[in-house]
Amino acid sequence: MVDIQTKPPHSTLYVSNINEAISKTKLSYVLNRIFGRYGEVVDVRVRRSLKMKGQAFVTYKDARSCEKALSKLQGRPVFKKPIHIVYAHFASDKCLELNQELEELNKRKEQRNKKQEEETKIASEMLHQKQLSSKTPEVTESQLKLWKLLPPHKVLLLQNLTSESLESSFIEEAFDGFAGFEKVRLIKFRKLAFIDFDLESQATQCLKDIDASKFGAEALLTYAKK
């Protein structure tokens, strides 16, 4: 049993030791229902990247609800694994928004954007250097036309990956923010990866929004064949 503080620091809880085999969508739904018994849940964040697997953040509208959840749900089995709950080190974005802490929220967003820009710049420089030494075979017009004519599918196919992007963690980070993202199935020797989503519509939205060039100048992202 954790030591519940007299004054809750904020309304965001960090939940760990979650069964990693459960889909993101299903887990979000179940956590929302379980934690919703002890107060109004305004946000549930489940991360599926390699670094964040088995972890989630739950934000309540009222910080006092955290006390109830801590005392009632600590060690409770969820999908056959006892979950561990503590206050998150930092309040979630949703928590800051509810408390009108807009200055801190904007500061946090700026830091994230700056970090992303730096990572993109480094990746671009590495890609440029790689292209100078060995160019990835180009996709022919006929191949491109063929792949783009494939019918919608909840699985996407990412082809012509560069050596720098042939890491599951790198690809997972790129897709993790999209709704319904499930997992990456990387096939290194073929320089391709299958990207699984819960629903076909979610895969379609990702296909429209993501910039595939981050995986290489010749990278091709399409629906996978059914």
CA angle 95, 99, 104 (to 5 degrees): 75
Q: Which residues of the chain have pLDDT under 50?
A: 1-6, 132-137
- C-alpha 163/C-alpha 3 separation (Å) is 48
Order of strands across the sheet that contains 84-87 = 41-47, 55-60, 12-16, 84-87
Both 193 and 148 in one domain: the answer is: yes
Answer whether residue 109 is part of any domain. no
Q: What is the pLDDT of residue 197?
A: 93
Residues 6+ apart with CB under 8 A from 83: 15, 16, 17, 18, 73, 74, 75, 76, 77
Q: What is the pLDDT of residue 129?
A: 58
**Following CA atoms 178, 182, 187, 190 in sequence, which dihedral angle do they give, to the nearest 10 degrees?**
-40
Question: Which residue type is seen at 7?
Answer: K
The range of the structural domain enclosing residue 29 comes to 12-102
Q: What is the pLDDT of residue 127?
A: 56
Both 45 and 86 in one domain: the answer is: yes
Answer whether residue 181 is part of any domain. yes
Q: What is the pLDDT of residue 1?
A: 38
The backbone torsions φ and ψ at residue 63, rounded to the nearest 5 degrees and listed phi first, read -60, -30
Residue 73 near residue 16, CB atoms below 8 Å: no
Domain harbouring 185, CATH code? 3.30.70.330
Question: Which residue type is seen at 219?
Answer: A
Both 174 and 139 in one domain: the answer is: yes
Answer whether residue 2 is part of any domain. no
Q: What is the pLDDT of residue 156?
A: 94
How many distinct structural domains can be found in the chain? 2
Both 77 and 161 in one domain: the answer is: no
Helix locations, the chain, DSSP H? 24-35, 64-73, 93-98, 102-133, 141-148, 168-175, 200-209
Q: What is the pLDDT of residue 50?
A: 59
Which domain-ending residue is among 102, 121, 148?
102
Q: What is the pLDDT of residues 22-65, one digit of tens each?
A: 888 899 999 999 999 999 999 998 876 656 778 999 999 988 89
